[in-house]
Structure formats: structure tokens, C-alpha cells
Structure 1
Amino acid sequence: MRMMRGLFLPNHIICEILSWLPVKSLLRFKCVCKTWFNIIQDPEFITIHMVRAPCSWVYQSTYNENSCANFTFSTYWQGLVLERNNSTNAYRLRNPATRQILDLPCPPSHQNIIYINIFFIPKTSDLKLLNISCLQEEGDIHTKRYNILSINDLTWKYVDSTSCDPTKFQVRKLHAETKFYLFKLGLVGDSYFDCLDLENDRITRDIKIPRKLFLDWKNVHALNWKDGKLALACIDQKQQLNLWILEDDKKNKWAETKITISLTFLKDYPSMSSQNIIPWTVKENQIWWYHVTDDSQDIFVFDIESREVDFQTSPTTKKKILYIDKPSLTYIKGMHPETQKVKCSEK
């Protein structure tokens, strides 16, 4: 039978088909031909593929009681997980899907770390790590030190520090796009927030929050709202979620009216209350929550329109941590294949 010549698929059709396949298959298909290799390596294709990839709920850590190279999960971004070496306190970025890693230098202060996260800076196409350590000074004053690592040059630098008395303030930490926010919610007096812009590594301190937003500030939480905005939220006695949206952090402009959402699902779950459920982000028309108990920390999603609730229970084994992300082809310059054997440091 004679082969038909000239049959081909346009690149955009090939791209469309490949974008629906799992990462494992795409890694093999990079060897098919140069065209496919270039398509799969293209940043635009990687973005499209990640949007279509199924959500991954459970992260399998590399914990091994018989190994001195144990890593624990810290945070994640675009298919990459940030892990800390329990022996050396060094960090690494790892793509679990492609098994590629990037070793990072130890932060200048690896003790009393209270926060570490990944930020993408579009203007410079740089990834930055923000590390915050807490040092207790005289009395009850806690000083928080900000250190930033640029993935472009793999260098940590000290940015600034801020002080807070935990007996007078509740501290809430939140990030949105290229900014980090430290909310200091007054238990008695006024409330403030600091804003660190990681585009220029500058911090603006003690921006006053209107006291009138809430009558009781003890159970107020900060969360990511729609369109990259932030919100402060609190559940009242009527089982309603009250939200105040921060319209402009530079001008300290808050919405003129609050948003009220009836939490109808609470009547069906007696174990839940304002004391153990925490709103942390809004995606599309859904509010994502943590449900914290003595045994676990679960995630559930509340659909604002349908009022339906979807639960994801945290794994019982310490080898697994519940987190939300998608498998991707994301690659950072300098990444290399993950090795199975790790040389232990001498003790």
C-alpha cells in the first residue's frame, strides 16, 4: 500500500492536542522531533498546559526516616514546590512532575522562620523568595526581619525589619501578586498594616486601618479577594461573613460599604464555627477555607452562588501534605535532574 505524502498537522493543531496531555507523556514526546521539542519547551505552551492540567491535591514529600537528606514542604508556585532540607536548613525548588530541582543558598537567618513564600516579578521575569524570621527582644516586643532571595542571581539580601507587640496585636500575613502584607490587628487600640513591594524591595509601614470596620477585631482575618485585591473578613453572630475590600493600598482606600455573605452551610456542620474556620482566598465565585481541628487541617470550598460546599480532607500520614496546585512543565534556569542518592554530611 502506497504511503500518502504531504500529510501534516499545522503547529497550532499539534499544540492544541499536546496541551491536554499529562506531563509524563510530554516529557517523552519531546524526543519525537525538533518541532515537538520546541513546542513543549515554549513558555506560552507551558502556561496553556498548566491551565488545562487537573488539580493536584496531595503532595508526596521525600521524607525518609533512614535518610539524612529529608526535605519538608514549605510552599508552592506554578507547579514548583519549595522544600527545606531538615539537616542543613537549605532550600530547593523542585518540580515533582519533571523531577528537576534548583538548589538555593541558605537564608541568612534560618532560625525562627515564621514565613517564606515565592513571588513572581513580571517586569524582570524574576522569582523572589521572601523569608521572614522573628526575634524576641526585651519584654514582649517581637522584631521581624525581611530577607529576599532573587532567583536571577541566587543572592539573599536584608531588606528591613518591623516590630510588633503580640500582646496588643494579632498578626496576619498575606501576599497578593508582587506584594506582601503584614496586618497588625489591634486587640484594643488601632490596627495597621505594612506593605512590602517586591518589585523594588521597599516597605511602607504602619498604614492605619479604620477602626470602624469591625466592632470586634479578635477573629478578623485577611484574605485574597477578586482582581488581586485584599479584604478583611469576620464571621458575626448571625453566621454571616462580613468583608471590607481594600481598593487601593497606596492611598489606603477601603470600599465604602461592606459585603455580607450568608454562610448557610454552617447549620449543617455543628463542628464548624467562627473559631475554627478561616477564609483565605477567593477564586472566581468560590471562597476557600481552612477548617482547623486538633487532628487535621482540612480545606473546603464554598460556592457563593450555589451555596454548595466541597471538602478535601488532609492526609493522616506525615509523609503527605495537603496543598493545591497543578502538575506543570515549569522550568527555572539552573535546574538539574533530581538524584536518588544524596551524600550525607559528616557529623
Structure 2
Amino acid sequence: MQMAHGYHLRSRRRRRRLDPKPEEPKLPFEIIIEILSWLPVEALLRFKCVSKTWCSLIEEYNFILKHMKRVSPIHLQFRLKSERNHVAPYFDSNYEGMGRVAGMFLEKHITTHLCRIRNPATRRVLNLPEAHKGARRMSSAFNLSTGEIKVVTLYVENNELGFQIMTVGKDEKWRPWKHPNQGLLKEQGRRVVRCNFFAAEKMNGRVCYSAEFMKRDGQDLSILEVQRLDLVDESVLTATLPQGVFPDLNKVCVINWNKHVAVVEIVNATLHALVCEDSKENKWSPKKIVVPLKFMEKIFPPLQEGRDVIIPVNVDGDDFSFYCFQGEQSFVYNTKMQKAKYLYSGVDRWTAHRPSLMGFKGMRLEEEATTSAAKIEE
């Protein structure tokens, strides 16, 4: 009996060793995708090493779009620099910030014509071809359906304006984009004396505006034309400010007003604005929009009027953004609540930034690209 019992015991042990282990439960890949799409960029970059499948997923465009919508914003520090009535952010001491697109920064070197697109989350940079030597401003557009990013630059040459455009990752050099007045200003006896260039939307917009102040030779009367540039269709529409609406165009600013262009002026603590409602039809608001600014006396008691002291920057719904050159202060005033929502002072600022996994063929680590740019500068 003992021998038989021992035999059966050994048999059970042998069968236990031969029996396959039960499979561990696996998560469906769809659930894995959902989990990964909520993680920060830094974690996803590490997880690319898990497997080829994970790496392909994290680099796939639709996943990048989903992640971009879900990722939590982070705060980045930058330095604000102002010159005349132009205010620009600097995230790098050598590069002026020209805009943001798809979680990346469009930047221009302060001493050369070198431009670049930088992704601060992945720490990768793509140096763009050198822009026109007279390049002043830039903007960009992100086509969600195709993933294409286009960049446009405005340049000044002999008191005339011109545009250049390129599709990032496809074009090896900038393409000329004909300005409606290119080559005609001299014939008409006109010259550009000032220009504003800005995007119609804060991020990922397809439209930007070039507001151009011109004068006729021998005349004091100024002319203001607004070019509406659609970067996706690469089309241009021109609108002209009606004469006489503002007596002195030297005192006005041109800003983004709820994704439209508006000409604004501050007079006697009151903001006066004329909005271009339809660039194609050259249709402007029938009368000026008037917004009282009495609140400024409380926020800035010593404030004096004048475009060089305080300038409107942007209007988004009930939020009116201003920049004050005295003390380098900026704030957002909500007209409905009748109070300043935010107030910043000094040159060092923080901004909310939504990181992304976006990248292009040819992007290099930031340190490598910076070294290469330094050699080009030499």
C-alpha cells in the first residue's frame, strides 16, 4: 500500500510538472492605447523601447493627435522683450518666439536668418532653410486632416513687403508667395511705414493677417491695407480701412478681435474699434465699437494715454488683453465681470503649454542642432 501510495504521489507531481502554466490575463490592445494616450510625453518616449508595436503606436499620427487633446498642460518660463510696439517671447536667449503650432515652437535666431521648429517635450529641433534677409515676422498653420505644417514669413525690402511660404518636412527651401502689391507700390508712389503681422487664432490656426500702413509720396495721409493669408489654400484677400474713420493712423493698433482683424485706438480712457467682418467683401462693422476703460485708472494710477504707453493685444470674447510698457505689465480685463482676471509684471513670465509627440523627419536632438547652428553662424 505504501509503495502504491508513493507511486501515485510521484505520478501526480510528474503530471503537475508537465501541465502547461495557465496563461496570464492580457489587456486588449485597445485598452492599452487608451491608457497610453493619457500619459505624459516623457513616459511615452521611454515606453517606445517596450516593443516594436508600442514604438509604432506612439509614432502613429492618429495616436499623436489623440494624445495632444488629452495631455495635461505644463508651465514653461519665458522672457518677454518689447521693442517699440512689438512684444515677443523668448524661451531661448538666442531665439525669438514667432509662434506655437502643434505643441512646438516656431523660432527665429536674433542675429542670423536661421529659423527652426523646436519641440520642448521631445527636446528635438528641425532647422529650417534660411529665410529672406529682410524677414520680420512669421506664422504657421497646422492641417489636422493631413498633419502638414506650413510656415509663412513676411519680409521687408526697399519699403515693400513680400511673403515666403514652405511646407515643413517637404520643401527644401522657401517658396515665394506673391504679395498683392509686390512691385506695384513704387509705381503707385507708396511706401510701407509700419506693419503688424499676427495669427487669427492663438494656436493651430490656418489664417494670419498682415496689416500694412502706407503713405503716398508727398502726402501725410496714411493708408491701411489688411492682407488675409490662408496658409492651407495659399490664398490672399485684401481689405482696405475706410478713409477718415481714424484721424491719425499713427495712433492706432491692429489686433485679433475674436478671430477677425480690428483697428483700435484708445482715446480719453475709451477703446474705439472698427472690425473687418468680411475680408473677401471688404466689409467693416457699420460703426465703431466703444469700450470704456475707466478701470485702468485703478490698475495703473499714473497711466498716461498713448500707443507707446499701453496697447491692446487681443480680444477673445469678453476678455481684452493689454500690454503696458510702464513696468512691463500685461493683463486680461473681462468686460462682463469688470475686473482684471490676470496681472503679470516684469520680463520673466510663465505660460501654459500643451506638450506633444509631433516631429518631422530630419529632427535632431536640441544639443546637436544648436552645435550645428553655431557652426553655420561662424
Q: TM-score range by the shorter chain?
A: 0.7 to 0.9
- Offset at 1:250? 0.5
Letter in 2 for 1:312: Y
Which has the greater radius of gyration? Answer: 2
Distance 1:6 1:285 in 2: 53
Distance 1:33 1:264 in 2: 62
- Mapped pair 1:179 → 2:240: no
Distance 1:30 1:315 in 2: 38
Decide whether the 8 Å contact of 2:98 with 2:106 is kept in 1. Answer: yes
How does 1:81-120 map onto structure 2 within 5 Å?
81-85=105-109, 89-107=113-131, 109-110=132-133, 112-120=134-142
Q: Which residue of 1 aligns with 2:45?
A: 27
How does 1:26-105 map onto structure 2 within 5 Å?
26-32=44-50, 40-41=58-59, 42-50=63-71, 52-58=72-78, 61-63=91-93, 71-85=95-109, 89-105=113-129
Q: Which residue of 1 aligns with 2:191?
A: 165
How does 1:1-347 map onto structure 2 within 5 Å?
6=25, 8=27, 11=30, 15=34, 21-32=39-50, 40-41=58-59, 42-50=63-71, 52-58=72-78, 61-63=91-93, 71-85=95-109, 89-107=113-131, 109-110=132-133, 112-121=134-143, 125-136=147-158, 142-151=159-168, 152-161=170-179, 162=182, 163=185, 164-166=190-192, 170-176=194-200, 177-185=205-213, 188-205=221-238, 207-211=239-243, 213-226=245-258, 228-237=259-268, 239-268=269-298, 269-272=300-303, 273-275=305-307, 276-293=309-326, 296=328, 298-309=329-340, 310-315=342-347, 325-339=353-367, 342=371, 345=375
Decide whether the 8 Å contact of 1:80 with 1:93 is kept in 2. Answer: yes
Distance 1:19 1:274 in 2: 49
Letter in 2 for 1:283: D
Please identify, of 241-250 and 251-260, the stretch whose mean Cα deviation from structure 2 is larger: 251-260
**Residues 19 and 258 from structure 1, CA distance in 2 versus in 1: closer, same or farther, beyond 3 angstroms?**
farther
**Residues 302 and 27 from structure 1, CA distance in 2 versus in 1: closer, same or farther, beyond 3 angstroms?**
farther
Letter in 2 for 1:334: G
Q: Which runs of 5+ in 2 are unaligned?
A: 1-21, 80-89, 215-219
Q: Which residue of 1 aligns with 2:13?
A: none
Q: Which runs of 5+ in 1 are unaligned?
A: 64-69, 137-141
Give the SS at the match of 1:211. coil
What RMSD in Å do the two structures reach over aligned CA positions? 3.6
Decide whether the 8 Å contact of 2:115 with 2:129 is kept in 1. Answer: yes
**Residues 224 and 46 from structure 1, CA distance in 2 versus in 1: closer, same or farther, beyond 3 angstroms?**
farther
Decide whether the 8 Å contact of 2:99 with 2:139 is kept in 1. Answer: yes
Give the SS at the match of 1:128. strand
**Residues 25 and 121 from structure 1, CA distance in 2 versus in 1: closer, same or farther, beyond 3 angstroms?**
closer
Normalised by the length of structure 1, the TM-score is: 0.75
How many residues are treated as equivalent by the alignment?
Answer: 320
Distance 2:337 2:112 in 1: 48
Decide whether the 8 Å contact of 1:116 with 1:130 is kept in 2. Answer: yes
Distance 1:86 1:191 in 2: 28
Decide whether the 8 Å contact of 1:58 with 1:324 is kept in 2. Answer: no
Letter in 1 for 2:121: A
Give the SS at the match of 1:28. helix
Normalised by the length of structure 2, the TM-score is: 0.70
Percentage of matched positions with identical amino acids: 25
- Offset at 1:300? 1.9
Decide whether the 8 Å contact of 1:174 with 1:222 is kept in 2. Answer: no
**Residues 327 and 57 from structure 1, CA distance in 2 versus in 1: closer, same or farther, beyond 3 angstroms?**
farther
